[in-house]
Chain A
Amino acid sequence: MVADAAPSVMPVQAARPSTGLQVRAWLARRSEAVAIPVAAAVAGFLLFGVFLLALGKSPLQLVDLVYRAGFGSSFALGNSLQRAAPLLFTALCVALPARLGLVVIGGEGAIVLGGLAAAAFAQPLAAFPAVIAIPLMALAAAFAGAVWIGSVGWLQAYRGVNATISSLLLSYIAIAIANHLIEGPLRDPTSLNKPSTLPIGDAFMLPPMPVIGVHWGLGCGVIACILAYILMDRTTLGFAARIAGGNVRAAQIQGLPVGRLIVGFTALGGVFAALAGFFEVAAVQGTANGTLVAGYGYTGILVAFLARQNPIAIIPVAILLGGIEASSGLIQRRMQLPDATVLVLEGLLFLIVLMSETLYGRFKIFSPHLWQAKAETMPAPAASAAA
């Protein structure tokens, strides 16, 4: 940002600090990345508790209900995990482009198109065995999502159209196209009150995962998060993307294919969001209908920002939010609170976590320099004696 960073203030690499202190410096930096978001989330919950107290409700009862309805029993946990599954994917659709400095908020459109593509392809594939048909349905969904969100990246990279705005517009357009197809050409004539496409058929429905009993979307979502982490943090491609996200000019001077990186990573994000739609159709609904527009895309934005765009952190955050959303019904009945209670809590958490961005680097305890400085004080007497 500032071009004239004086080279004179660069710390001189004097004596190499001992390994133990290096580890402590590394730990200090890493613990900042965990401590600040966690503290911000706790502050958000506390603030929400004050809000509840002001309304004469008990915050402790809310915590108890969220625990019981979200995580308390194996049934509750299964329900939470089922809600978390699409969030894993949609959060990746925000987090991957975010590393390139793009705020993509149109995941909702990719979910809807992905689900629709999967359902539409189930009909012509009806004659094939499920082992062939289901992957092809997933592929159709992935292709739809890649084209949709990839074009957001393409427009940004090659036409200079802002990704936030274009993804938002494309998401509305996708929902309109889906409504048109579900109510028109692809409509199942027997679906009267709730317009839907023809059912994909029981043979093509994904079975639940063994042991956990939740559909495969969860397992694939977790794998997707881990793969995304490896891609972003452990490969040269991910490294190039992060450079391009940090400073486009520097990346261009280095000869990095910035445009292709942007298109690739947005398209991959679109693939993930569309897979959320695929799993909703192939594992939950059995058909594409209006329930695909359930706000998973928007909650995914929240998950990605709470996880600070870190693919691994997305996993616990998505499960936590899945649990909170799963407990919405119980909170409504037991505490006589409106169903929007969860929305207020989510909005508050989002705001506080964003505000906490300003705290990074403010606490000395997390500073690696503090620990390195300690390392440098040790050989210092010898150096002064020599002088």
Chain B
Amino acid sequence: MSDQLGLWSVLIAVIGGAIRVSTPFLFVSLGETITERSGRINLGLEGTLVFGAMSAYATAVLTDSPWAGVAVAGLAGGAFGLLHGFVCRLPRVNDVAVGIALMLFGSGLAFFLGKPFIQPSAPPLPAIPFGFWSDLPQVQAALRVNVLFLVGAALSVLLWWAFRNTKAGLIVRVVGDSADAARAMGYDVDRVRLYATAAGGVLAGIGGAYLSLYYPGSWNEGVSSGQGLMAVALVIFARWNPLACFGAALLFGGAGALGPALQSVGISQGYYLFYAAPYVLTLALLIATSSTERALAGAPGELSLSK
């Protein structure tokens, strides 16, 4: 079948891969956007993602409900976010370093507590077959869209709107752009950042639930291939804009699917190099747009990255 389709099958596989792989990127990057917009960076979302994957899987195994798993993953992610926000409140504590520590701690704890859940199988999250109109199994497979992907897409629009039009969104932006201005307006900067980091953790935890409950759809220690860390780069790529996060997540997902898709039509040369495509892309974009003279366009003023 794939012989007849030729290179079209590569395109279909890349689109399908983009939809399938992008959801964790999307959730983690939206979470990181909320956190970074408040002026703090949480590098620990990789740990939150892995812990979310574990807790969602374990809950789904125990309760037989994947949605309970998603809820627990979100709560667990929120707890990690609160921990990060709380530790960073202490004076002279570096948020980047705390993130690295939480990455280690979160994935360590997930592997530790998740050991008994590697064997049993959990009920997966439901997907909607948008490819029903086509006879081609490839198209049908590519267009099986998970519900969480749609939730994430809606969320990116909602966040984009909320950052512009709601009081909460504006408060987060003020705190992120100038802590002094926020203090002068009477807002508790640390508390806003605490909540923003917790909200970011919730989303990253849900992204983890997608990993273990849909794609790849099982819990083991290699469930995340660094999506949580890549999402940090993705947020910069998307210029802290939730709508752009959606596009960037699709792009990263599609770039990751390119290697396997080309291999399936017999082009296996440089298979591993294609894995690096998203990283090269992000780095190239960073180099092209950064400057020593000014901060990145769209970067929150309080962010240690852009200072």
Contacts and interface: CB of A to CB of B under 8 A. Distances in A.
Interface string B273-292: 10110011011001100111
Give the secondary structure class of B's interface: helix
B291 A169 contact: no
B297 to A, nearest CB: 12
A343 B101 contact: no
A347 B93 contact: no
Interface in A338-387: 338-348, 350-351, 354-355, 357-358, 360
A348 B112 CA distance: 13
B32 to A, nearest CB: 12
B92 interface: yes
Interface in B259-304: 270-273, 275-276, 279-280, 282-283, 286-287, 290-293
A287 interface: no
Nearest to B280: A173
A179 interface: yes
B20 to A, nearest CB: 21
Contacts of A339: 111
Given A155-B287, A180-B272, A344-B112, A298 B292 contact: no
B63 interface: no
B217 interface: no
Interface string B40-72: 000100010000000000000000000000000
A343 B112 contact: yes
Interface residues of A, number: 46
A158 interface: yes
Interface stretch (A113-121, A127-135, A160-168, A203-211): A160-168
A305 interface: yes
Contacts of B276: 172-173, 176-177
Contact of B283 (A158, A173, A348, A360): A173
Nearest to A103: B96
A170 interface: yes
B183 interface: no
A321 to B, nearest CB: 12
Given A172-B279, A345-B108, 6 more contacts: A105-B100, A169-B279, A177-B276, A344-B109, A344-B112, A351-B101
List the 7 shortest-distance A-B pairs measured between CB atoms, nearest first: A347-B105, A343-B108, A340-B111, A176-B276, A350-B101, A358-B90, A160-B292
